[in-house]
């Protein structure tokens, strides 16, 4: 059965929120972020994904990159994905460096349909009736994202 897939950015009109940190041991975000995502959004390990983790020790400063995703299911149709990307550098001797953290939450709604008429009715249902529910999910998620950002800044020592 085909699905009508609707996506929306939670931080609309901007898709991504950026946090920059410069200071001692910026690679500590590798320990902080995964547990913070799981705790803040109450995501189990089966809905948490480490997409990519890279270290480049061939040069000094050491460059690193990581990306994590978490899926927060709201109901049978809608889930909110939280993607966090980290790009940074750290000196191998004195552990000083910088890191940029990108937070990109987005809402995905899958609505099944079976034929052309059903697809049109599904679009109408989504626009007129389900839109308010999606707005409610986004407002709830914005509160969780604010808490996530505040706790991350507190762990890094950013005011």
Phi-psi label, residue 71: left if phi above 0, alpha if psi -120 to 50, beta otherwise? beta
Q: For the segment 16-39, what is each residue's pLDDT rounded down to a tens digit?
A: 999 999 999 999 999 999 999 999
Residue 29, pLDDT score: 93
> Roughly what angle, to the nearest 10 degrees, separates helices 131-156 and 29-41?
140
> Phi then psi for 118, rounded to 5 degrees?
-65, -35
Hey, how many other C-beta atoms are within 10 angstroms of the C-beta on 155?
Answer: 15
Residue 1, pLDDT score: 80
Q: What is the pTM of this model?
A: 0.90
Residue 91, pLDDT score: 92
**For residue 11, what is the DSSP state?**
T
For residue 96, the SS3 value is strand
Q: For the segment 31-60, what is each residue's pLDDT rounded down to a tens digit?
A: 999 999 999 999 999 999 999 999 888 888
* Low-confidence residues in the chain, pLDDT < 50: none
Name residues whose C-beta falls within 8 Å of residue 146's C-beta, 6 or more positions apart in sequence.
Answer: none
> Phi then psi for 88, rounded to 5 degrees?
-160, 175
Please state, in angstroms and rounded to a whole number, the distance separating the CA atoms of residues 75 and 109: 10
Residue 114, pLDDT score: 92
| Secondary-structure percent of the chain, ordered helix, strand, coil, rounded to 5 | 40, 40, 20
């Amino acid at each position: 059965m085909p699905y009508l897939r609707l996506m929306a950015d939670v931080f609309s009109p901007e898709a991504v929120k950026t946090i920059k940190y410069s200071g001692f041991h910026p690679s500590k975000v590798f320990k902080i972020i995964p547990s913070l995502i799981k705790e803040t959004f109450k995501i189990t390990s089966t809905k948490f994904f480490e997409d990519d983790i890279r270290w480049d020790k061939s040069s000094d400063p050491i460059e690193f990159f990581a990306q994590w995703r978490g899926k927060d299911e709201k109901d049978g149709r809608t889930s909110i994905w939280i993607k966090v990307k980290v790009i940074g550098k750290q000196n191998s001797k004195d552990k000083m460096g910088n890191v940029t953290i990108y937070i990109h939450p987005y809402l995905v709604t899958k609505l099944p349909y079976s034929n052309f008429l059903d697809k049109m009715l599904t679009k109408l249902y989504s626009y007129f009736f389900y839109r308010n529910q999606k707005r409610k999910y986004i407002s709830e998620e914005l509160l969780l994202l604010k808490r996530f950002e505040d706790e991350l800044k507190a762990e890094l020592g950013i005011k």
